[in-house]
Amino acid sequence: MLRQPFVVAVDGPAAAGKGTLAKRLADEIGLPYLDTGLLYRAVARRMLDVSEDPAHTSGLEQAEGLSPEDLLRGDLRVPEVDRAASLVARQPEVRHALVGVQRRFADERGAVLDGRDIGTVIFPDALVKLYVTASPAARALRRYLQTGGDTTRPGWEEELREIETSIRARDEADSARETAPLRIAEDAVMIVTDDMDANAVLAEAIRIVKDRLAAAD
Ligand code: CDP
What pLDDT does residue 2 have? 56
Find the radius of gyration of the CA atoms of the chain: 17
Are 178 and 185 in contact by the 8 Å Cβ rule? The answer is: no
Determine the 3-state secondary structure of 53 from DSSP.
coil
The residue whose CA is least distant from atom 18 of ligand 1 is: 37
What pLDDT does residue 116 have? 96
Q: Which residues contact 159 (CB under 8 A, 6 or more apart)?
A: 144, 149, 153
Q: What does the pLDDT look like over 165-177, one tens digit per residue? A: 999 999 999 999 9
Atom of ligand 1 nearest to the CA of 76: 8
DSSP letter at 188 equals P
In angstroms, the CA 150 to CA 2 distance is 47
In Å, how far are 119, 147, 187 from 114, measured between CA atoms?
Answer: 9, 20, 16
The sign of the dihedral angle between the CA atoms of 164, 170, 173, 174 is negative
Q: Which residues contact 153 (CB under 8 A, 6 or more apart)?
A: 159
C-alpha 79 to ligand 1 mean position (Å):
13
Name the residue of 87, 94, 116, 117 to mutate for ligand 1: max ligand atoms within 8 A of Cβ.
116
Residues of the chain with pLDDT under 50: none
Angle at 115 between CA 68 and CA 79, to 5 degrees: 75
Q: What does the pLDDT look like over 38-64, one tens digit per residue? A: 999 999 999 999 999 999 999 999 999
What pLDDT does residue 4 have? 75
CB-ligand 1 contact for 40 (6 Å cutoff): yes
In angstroms, the CA 217 to CA 207 distance is 16
CB-ligand 1 contact for 83 (6 Å cutoff): no
Cβ atoms within 10 Å of 128's Cβ, excluding its own: 25
What pLDDT does residue 3 have? 61
